[in-house]
Structure 1
């Protein structure tokens, strides 16, 4: 079964509290587990970048929820496509802290491919998937 992925950037809705965000992420994790979707959400206090992957029907269901959510505005789809294997199979959904520099770099990165480079080529890469992999790696190793 082919795996699909979507990555987008958006702005945090005015008045979204950390508690509400944590509740949304927990709810998304439960929904994603059922849908067979894995992913990560980076949040810098002002913007989100989210990447999620899974079977086509699961990704479509998750994306519809994302599009209907009032927790963010100005959603911009950075990429959508097929991936040969899951790039981030670790979590049904995990929110990671990020600074504005990282979120901005992810939002401006080249997302025309979804295959993570070899580890020795990730540092300094312009590929969005590599920037995301480098940001996620310390959290995976700590888990």
Structure 2
């Protein structure tokens, strides 16, 4: 998972194109995930086999659609959180990206022993309405 700054003049239509292109590529790599976009920043979470994630992440690092990439977490997950989305993008606001990225991402676990939400809890809390609604992918 990472955050990055959106390249200047990148609009919603271009984000649609990026997500469609990423989805096609990710299918081949066996990777799924979600891209949150607040108009200024991206937050992207990807999951899948280690070799597939590595190939996709290498492509992400060299993309010209963003800059100032900041990795938040990496490592194995217990289960996929976006198993049916080769890549889905969701419009969001700055506060949601801040809320998710500032969570505890150590170990990609759900629920801290002290009851505070982890980064995974925060992400899935934002995604759950989208997953439950069956709304079409962007």
Q: Would the TM-score normalized by the shorter structure come out above 0.5?
A: yes
Q: Which of residues 74, 86, 94 in structure 2 aligns to 1:80?
A: 74
Match in the other structure for 1:137: 128
- SS at structure 1 position matched to 2:76: strand
Counterpart Cα distance in 2 of 1:135 and 1:46: 18
Q: Deviations over 1:68-119 (max 9, x none)?
A: 101111000001001122122120110011111101112222211213349x
TM alignment of 1:6-21, pairs within 5 A: 7-21=1-15
Counterpart Cα distance in 2 of 1:115 and 1:97: 25
- SS at structure 2 position matched to 1:83: coil
Q: Deviations over 1:18-69 (max 9, x none)?
A: 1111101000001111110010011111111100000011000100110010
1:17 is displaced (CA, Å) by: 1.7
Counterpart Cα distance in 1 of 2:40 and 2:107: 26
Aligned CA RMSD, in angstroms, stands at 1.5
> Contact 1:87–1:115 (CA<8 Å) still a contact in 2?
no
Q: Comparing both structures, which one devotes a greater share of its residues to strand? A: 1
Counterpart Cα distance in 2 of 1:21 and 1:43: 8
For structure 1, which runs of at least 5 residues remain unmatched after alignment? 1-6
- SS at structure 2 position matched to 1:85: coil
Q: Which of residues 20, 25, 35 in structure 2 aligns to 1:31?
A: 25
Q: Does 1:47 align with 2:41?
A: yes
Question: TM-score w.r.t. structure 2 length?
Answer: 0.90
Counterpart Cα distance in 2 of 1:111 and 1:91: 21
For structure 2, which runs of at least 5 residues remain unmatched after alignment? none
Q: Which runs of 4+ in 1 moved over 3 A?
A: none
